Structure 1
Amino acid sequence: MGKITVEFLQTHNTYRNKHGAPPLTISQDLCRSAKSWADYLLSIKTLQHSSGGKFGENLFYTWSSGGKSLTGHFTQVVWKDTKELGYGVATDGKTVFVVGQYLPPGNFTNPGAFEKNVLPPNKTPAPGKGEYM
């Protein structure tokens, strides 16, 4: 795995650990899909979810004028039943799109799904760090 992939996975798993969710693994299929979608978003310069709904999805978009950015769906990151992660990045030097895709998807609103899958943060110190995760 490349450095960015390791950092992306470790960051997700740090938040998941804090919320009592098991670690994710990288899916190369999801990475290819997310990269393709990030490339498309860059070409149209619009932040929108892909269609189909077969996986969960997080989008990040930033542009150079004013340092503005948009992001959403933290609960998908910590959704307990999600097992796999893929990401893709596209940039033209001024604009950056990052797409994260997740299987199985999360953020379901049926009764009890949120409570079962998005646990409150734990208060356990990080091993050897003396700080809370």
Structure 2
Amino acid sequence: MADASFQREFLQAHNAYRALHGSPLLTLSSELTASAQKWADHLLALGLMNHSDTKDGENIFTKLSSDTLTGKEAVDAWYSEIKDYNWSSPGFKSNNGHFTQVVWKDSTELGVGLAAVGTRAYVVGQYRPAGNMNMPGYFESNVLPKGGGEAGGTGISSSGRSGKKRTKICTLL
């Protein structure tokens, strides 16, 4: 279960990235957090990576590692998809949907769930209202370039090395 420290770090990481793109700060929702936690527990029990049937937005991250998972690590992995976003042709693509949900301007609430056992961990982020609405003009008005200036840039990778040997496998859904 995501403790208060993990939740705070998860929320702060989202809001730091959103600020770069002119998106308003998210607030943590107890309702969405309960839903995200329930889904994270379900994924861990089944060992699967599937989206729930929620009508809210949803990002999922899994990690297989002996290292402690941080809230920021999952958000960093999602945001790193900025490198795959085509600013000259905005829209949803399977390789950037996590990034676009993180910065989606119209989303105002966030929930987080964390389920872990041994070296396996699942993080579920849920967003309300949902992002990635693939209707004319929605991406242009909700996924803004950094600072309103030139688009692009790179995110922070979740696969950094620290000099010690470790096993790490991260999967995004």
TM-score, L = length of structure 1: 0.83
Cα shift readout 1:15-64 (whole Å, capped 9, x = no counterpart): 00000000000000000000000000001111110014x10000001113
Greater RCO structure (CA 8 Å; 6+ sep) = 2
Q: Are the equivalent residues in 1 in contact too, given 2:21–2:148 (CA < 8 A)?
A: no
CA distance in 1, matches of 2:7, 2:42: 21
> SS where residue 12 of structure 1 aligns?
helix
How is 1:3-18 mapped onto 2 (pairs within 5 angstroms)? 3-18=5-20
1:76 and 2:101 aligned: yes
Unaligned runs of 5+ in 2: 67-73, 79-96, 150-173
**Which has more helix, going by share of residues?**
2
Q: Are the equivalent residues in 1 in contact too, given 2:15–2:25 (CA < 8 A)?
A: yes
How is 1:5-84 mapped onto 2 (pairs within 5 angstroms)? 5-52=7-54, 54-64=55-65, 73-84=98-109
TM-score, L = length of structure 2: 0.65
Structure 1 residues 109 and 83, CA gap change in structure 2 (3 angstroms):
same
CA distance in 1, matches of 2:22, 2:148: 11
1:94 and 2:129 aligned: no
Partner letter of residue 119 of structure 1? L
Unaligned runs of 5+ in 1: 125-133
> SS where residue 146 of structure 2 aligns?
coil
Q: Which runs of at least 4 in structure 1 moved beyond 4 Å after TM superposition? A: 69-72
CA distance in 2, matches of 1:64, 1:7: 19
Partner letter of residue 135 of structure 2? N
CA distance in 1, matches of 2:128, 2:144: 18
The alignment's C-alpha RMSD in Å is 2.2
Partner letter of residue 20 of structure 1? G
CA distance in 2, matches of 1:49, 1:86: 15
Instruction: Give the count of matched residue pairs.
Output: 120
> SS where residue 147 of structure 2 aligns?
coil
CA distance in 1, matches of 2:117, 2:5: 21
Aligned to 2:83: none
> SS where residue 30 of structure 1 aligns?
helix
CA distance in 2, matches of 1:74, 1:44: 26
